[in-house]
Amino acid sequence: MDRKQMCVANVRYKRPTADEAKRMKNLLGYLTYRDSRDQGAKMVVGQDRWVDRGLGKSVADIAHRCDDLRSKHVLAFSLVINPNPQLTAMIAAHRREQFVRELTEKTVADFFEARGLDTGCEMSYVLHHRLSDDPQAPGLTDPHTHVVLPGTVFSEEHGERVPLYFSQNKKVDHIAMLHAATEKNMAHLLERYIGPDWEQRFDHLEAVREQQRRIVEQPPHGKMPHEKDAETEWNVWCGVRRTDERHTALGYYRGYSVPTEDDPDAVRLEFRPLVSGLRHDEADVLARYFARTMNGDARMLHALAEQLKALRAGERAGLVAELREHGWDRPTTRSPEISFDIDF
């Protein structure tokens, strides 16, 4: 896999002005009481949200400490360390939080060590548990951390605190150093939490997805209007996309031509899931059935998906078994349609 896609790590800062100090407190409050823009945080009595590594464990403590340790130009820095949800999904659910915490602390420690600051730097961080908003795989757990650093750091060389800065130029690129520390620790921890074959397993997952996308090499199963362009229609293919090693989503691929000067045959292609959490084999069977039953009308896919989601687990298993009996587990089936109104 592309190692640069393993984890996002970015940096921002607040200036030491009255307005920025107010915004800083608002940000700290937001990070404390929310996991995302649309999700409130689950507060646990007796359990602090912030992990204190020298800056405090409350909004007031962190804001006051940052004010004490500010530099002339920086009140505080904020870092986001966000592992790729596709990789996080490969880790056992009960170990994901510890994985992200360990990744955060090791990455920050290694970053400052690489900069020659062996004593490290004070920080506090909060872990968020939002769900991914990736339209191709919505709802994946997406744990990540927000880290707060002060505007100064103690330097043994100078025997005092000096301004902390993040340079990005030809002479020194601290952002590249941060990314390098993140990638190194991601690879090391993935090997420990998943196994030495984690990369091969992820590449296999990607290879399966690429194979599933090849359904668009067939004639489209139908069309649907474009939401923003009344003169454009999407070509639609009913298909599947492997969500993780255990589950597959049933939905549709949609695409239309977007020719450019460099690539006159360019096509914009998207997958939109309709039913998630299916076993790989049952998703394949149902997709073949849906592709024929929609009869060229992409709107029918949504109706079929709603009927499928209304079935209980036993009813769905019975439907898939009956479809298999009629040959729908074979790509070239021409079997008659089967109603969802099956008497179990």
Number of domains the chain contains? 2
Asked if residues 80 and 9 have their Cβ atoms less than 8 Å apart, the reply is yes
- Domain-located, residue 343: no
CA distances from 281 to 185, 241, 291 (A): 35, 12, 16
pLDDT of residue 231: 74
Residue 107 has pLDDT above 90, yes or no: yes
Q: Are residues 113 and 184 in the same domain?
A: yes
Which H or E element spans position 76? strand 76-83
- Domain-located, residue 176: yes
- Domain-located, residue 210: no
pLDDT tens digits for range 37-69? 777 777 665 568 999 999 999 999 999 999 999
pLDDT of residue 271: 95
- Domain-located, residue 188: yes
- Domain-located, residue 226: yes
- Domain-located, residue 222: yes
pLDDT tens digits for range 126-155? 999 998 888 999 889 999 999 999 999 998
**Chain mean pLDDT for the chain:** 89
Q: Are residues 226 and 265 in the same domain?
A: yes
pLDDT of residue 45: 59
Please tell me which residue, 338 or 165, carries the higher pLDDT value: 165
Q: Are residues 186 and 249 in the same domain?
A: no
Q: Are residues 252 and 294 in the same domain?
A: yes
Q: Are residues 156 and 10 in the same domain?
A: yes
Which residues constitute the domain of residue 154? 3-196
Q: Are residues 11 and 144 in the same domain?
A: yes
72 — phi, psi (to 5°)? -65, -30
- Domain-located, residue 75: yes
Nearest to 126 by CA among 57, 186, 61: 57
Q: Are residues 52 and 20 in the same domain?
A: yes
Q: Are residues 188 and 239 in the same domain?
A: no
pLDDT of residue 46: 59
Q: Are residues 121 and 248 in the same domain?
A: no
pLDDT of residue 344: 32
Q: Are residues 137 and 26 in the same domain?
A: yes
Residue 157 has pLDDT above 50, yes or no: yes
Q: Are residues 189 and 226 in the same domain?
A: no
Q: Are residues 316 and 179 in the same domain?
A: no
pLDDT of residue 342: 41
pLDDT tens digits for range 12-33? 999 999 999 999 999 999 999 8
| pLDDT bracket for residue 332 (50, 70, 90) | low
CATH number of the domain that residue 83 is part of: 3.30.930
Residue 298 has pLDDT above 80, yes or no: yes
Please tell me which residue, 228 or 171, carries the higher pLDDT value: 171
Reported as half-sphere exposure (CB side, CA atoms, 13 A), residue 282 has a value of 18
